Amino acid sequence: MNGEFVDSDSAVVSVYDHGLLYGDGCFEGIRIYNGRILKLKSHIKRMFDSASSIRLTPPYSFEEVEQAVRDTVAKNNQQYGYIRLVFTRGKGTLGLNPFLCPTPTVFVIVEDIKLYDDEMYERGMSIITSERPRVPIRCLDPKVKSLNYLNNILAKIEAVDAGVLEALMLNTEGHVAECTGDNIFVIKDGKISTPSVDAGILHGITREFVINEVAPSIGHTVEERTITLEEIKSADEVFLTGTAAEVIGVNKIDEDVIGNGKVGEITHSLVEAFRTMVSEDAPED
């Protein structure tokens, strides 16, 4: 935290930190596999891009942040797990002006993580369609992975109230965007598609990994395009991707069963290909 190793109980931020007061900052979630940090450089690049978009100047260079992440992983002796990298605007006044916060706060957390049970990866997960749309790009571009996740959290509350763990969010045009913490893919007649970034989605690192590396490794290509809710519900297979979720199949959306109600063959093959690639030699670029 801010250049020093501290125990979690001692890692505190000021009550005047604009990250706490206003969600003013950005973050990355990153996975560790067999001691290697999956797509570390891509995550840090997105982090710096997010910071630039909100005019937050980190007090450390790209290389210093990368080394801090690696050192924190080593300090925790973590071979498998999860990293949370955070930049906040830092301590300031109770007013909104971000430029009255002279020094950003930077911290790295290394932890264990298990988002979903193993059984769910085998049988698939049920999700709902959120009544709450995704914030439009013109209001808050989702390529900025900001600390303000209230839009996602309110949709997540809808999911929990419905007895499931994820909710599909549409954009304000009514097209499929993404889930509260994951990107979404659809498979029909053997063809894989996913919403394009102009649908108002996070530019997911795992999403890009699946599109550019995992799917091609088993002979598939992925089309990025506009997708309707009706297409998703009538698909042969649906799956989600995310740093924490990895790749997981969806067996039901609202009251509509996807395909035969089980994780499909292509999704299974993508899960296996993903796990093989990250366990053997997880790419860090």
Sorted by where each begins, the domain ranges of the chain are 8-111, 118-281
Dihedral over alpha carbons 271, 70, 40, 168 (to 10 degrees)? 60
> Other C-beta atoms within 10 Å of 41: how many?
13
- Measured between alpha carbons, how far is 38 from 209 in angstroms, rounded to an integer? 10
Averaged pLDDT for residues 79-102: 97
Q: Do 38 and 283 touch, CB atoms closer than 8 A?
A: yes
Kindly state the average pLDDT of the residues 204-225: 98
Could you tell me what percent of the chain has a pLDDT over 70? 100
pLDDT > 90? residue 240: yes
- Domains 8-111 and 118-281 fall in the same CATH topology: no
- For residue 70, pLDDT over 90 is answered with yes
Q: For the domain bounded by 8-111, which CATH number is listed?
A: 3.30.470.10
Residue 115: per-residue pLDDT: 86
What mean pLDDT is predicted for residues 66-81? 97
Q: Smallest Cα–Cα separation from 179: which of 129, 138, 246?
A: 129
Residues with a known catalytic role? 145
| Answer CATH for 118-281 from 3.40.470.10, 3.20.20.150, 3.20.20.140, 3.20.10.10 | 3.20.10.10
Beta carbons of 207 and 244 less than 8 angstroms apart = no
The predicted model scores a pTM of 0.96
What share of the chain in percent tops pLDDT 90? 98
Residues in the chain: 285
Q: What's the whole-number mean pLDDT along residues 128-146? A: 95
pLDDT in tens, 13-51: 999 999 999 999 999 999 999 999 999 999 999 999 999
Mean pLDDT of 261-265: 96
Query: Is a pLDDT exceeding 90 seen at residue 114?
Result: no
Q: Under a CB-based contact definition with an 8 Å cutoff, are residues 116 and 98 in contact?
A: no
**In what helix (H) or strand (E) does residue 27 lie, and over which residues does it extend?**
strand 25-33
| Cα distances (angstroms) measured from residue 83 to each of 31, 79, 80, 166, 220 | 6, 12, 10, 22, 30
Question: What mean pLDDT comes out for the span 239-259?
Answer: 97
pLDDT in tens, 150-160: 999 999 999 99
**Mean pLDDT across the stretch 135-141?**
95
Cα separation, 272 vs 36, whole angstroms: 18
The pLDDT, as a whole number, for residue 280 is 87
